[in-house]
Chains A and B, each alone.
Chain A
Amino acid sequence: MSLQRPVIWVHEEALGSSNPALLERPNSPALFVFDTHWIQEAHISRKRLGFLYESALDLPITLRKGDVVKEVIAFAERHNADGVLSSLPVDPRLERIAVSIESHCPLELLEPEPFVTMPRPPRLGRFSRYWREAEPVVWEGF
């Protein structure tokens, strides 16, 4: 990793201790932002926010709300960071946020531990096809 003084952006897919960014830099300042634009646009209910909040409280992270990109950039400046470290998201909304952050400062994304590591990318045409390739590899760990 090239960043020397990163802050960590924790997003909605990685609110756990296996977050690879938190594992990589357990002492770096870390932040979770409630995305108010998403909450309003998707009419996210309070119980979903409560679940996220309770999960975030178990991690050593600052909680804020607002525009995620602006909040992450401001948090990096507040801590005089040389970049932002996070976990690789799947959600395209989070990918777009990551791209916007990267347009302001260096960003590194770490892959979470995979469920199964395939020798080559599986064919996804249908579940049965994927599972025919993945299942034997999964069970190698048993």
Chain B
Amino acid sequence: MPPQPSPTSLSWSERPGDLPRDLADRRALDSLLAEQFPEAGGRLSTLRGGRDAAETTLSLIDPRRYTKSRNHLKGAVTGLSPYIRHGVLSLAEVRNAVFQRIRSRDEGSKLINELGWRDFWQRMWRDLGDGIHDSQEELKTGHDPASYARELPEDIRAGRTGLACMDGFQSELTTRGWLHNHARMWMAAYVVHWRKVHWKAGADWFLEHLLDGDPSSNHLSWQWVASSFSHKPYFFNKGNLERFSDGQFCRSCSSSERCPFEGSYEQLESQLFASQGSIRDVPNRRSRNHQQRSGRQQELKGSGQAAMARPKR
């Protein structure tokens, strides 16, 4: 394993109980964490924390390719979210880096827009506080909220659903700690709509693993999929997943003959939701934290079955 970069030295003395700053390599860090935090499962990610890794990642951003390919799993997404989330890079710093790489506003507008989403989620979190943990509105799926399972099924958690796509996403999530946004949306839709699991069970599971682990973005996006923070539930079909994943899962999927995502959007809508008519007619009823708080309302009209994870992005 590559060595850890030389730690910054301190100008004050250490005391018993201070955690070590001088670690030979990542294996030593892995062992230290296993010893100090035995309850924290798994291993280190291949993605590294720290300023050097952040700057390397930042140096690779390509706003023009991002504009064209961001919805594809192999597209030119930035991978900056863990560094931004933990303040290793500031949004302002990333914004300036984008400005330096583009010749016109058109070349950078999608990526700047994406940074705007991060700022928006932060503002929403300030606004809603702990309210992000509660459903913001009634579901538009026609199902009783109590009918959704409160626990994540073991086959999903363990990556043994038999669906190459979902098991692949589970593997990325639990080993690398990072997922493409489109994969997050597909997986959330599968958990909530196909498996009838409450969004909170899936959202909490994501936060165990995602290095960017941003509760506001994560929880409100799960609610957007579930339809407690949007006008309609988000779902997808096999054609959509196949297209944006370049067929990498479907080719080798042992369940391809009985793919649950096969079908037209009309067929899937009627299969997954109890009452399509109700989707547009349920009044908003937001949960409140300490006071009346605003929230994102009907942001994505008509986007329930759209091909993109967050159609406005």
Contact = CB atoms under 8 A, between A and B. Distances in A.
B189 to A, nearest CB: 20
A124 B296 contact: yes
Interface residues of B, number: 90
A62 B93 CA distance: 26
B233 interface: no
Contacts of A3: none
B40 A45 contact: yes
Contacts of A55: 49-51, 83, 86, 88
A92 B122 CA distance: 11
B134 interface: no
A18 B204 contact: no
Contacts of A57: 4-5, 7-8, 21, 23, 50
B245 interface: no
Interface string B103-117: 001001000110111
A68 to B, nearest CB: 14
Contacts of B174: 45
Contacts of B102: 142
B41 A42 contact: no
B126 interface: yes
Interface in A94-123: 112-116, 122-123
Q: Give the size category of A's interface with B.
A: 35 or more
A31 to B, nearest CB: 9
B12 A127 contact: no
A47 B177 contact: yes
Given A34-B37, A45-B209, A62 B125 contact: no
A18 B213 CA distance: 20
Interface in A24-46: 27, 29, 34, 36, 39-40, 42-46
A14 interface: yes
Contacts of B87: 13-16, 18-19, 87, 112
Nearest to A113: B92
B15 interface: yes
A141 B36 contact: no
Given A54-B29, A60-B10, A62-B18, A126 B39 contact: no
A134 B115 CA distance: 11
A48 B123 contact: no
B8 to A, nearest CB: 5
Nearest to A33: B19
Contacts of B112: 135, 138-139
B48 interface: yes
B20 to A, nearest CB: 8
Contacts of B130: 92
B99 A142 contact: yes
Contacts of A113: 90, 92
Contacts of A63: 18-19, 21
A58 B5 contact: yes
Interface string B185-227: 0000000000000000000100111110101100000000000
B160 interface: no
A12 interface: yes
B15 A78 contact: yes
B191 to A, nearest CB: 17
B33 A50 contact: yes
Given A48-B211, A141-B95, A65 B296 contact: no
21 contacts: A16-B86, A16-B88, A29-B11, A29-B12, A34-B36, A39-B40, A43-B204, A45-B41, A45-B209, A46-B43, A47-B177, A50-B26, A53-B29, A57-B21, A60-B9, A115-B119, A116-B116, A124-B120, A124-B294, A135-B112, A138-B95
Given A124-B124, A131-B113, 12 more contacts: A14-B87, A19-B87, A39-B40, A46-B37, A47-B43, A47-B45, A48-B177, A50-B44, A60-B8, A125-B297, A126-B296, A127-B116
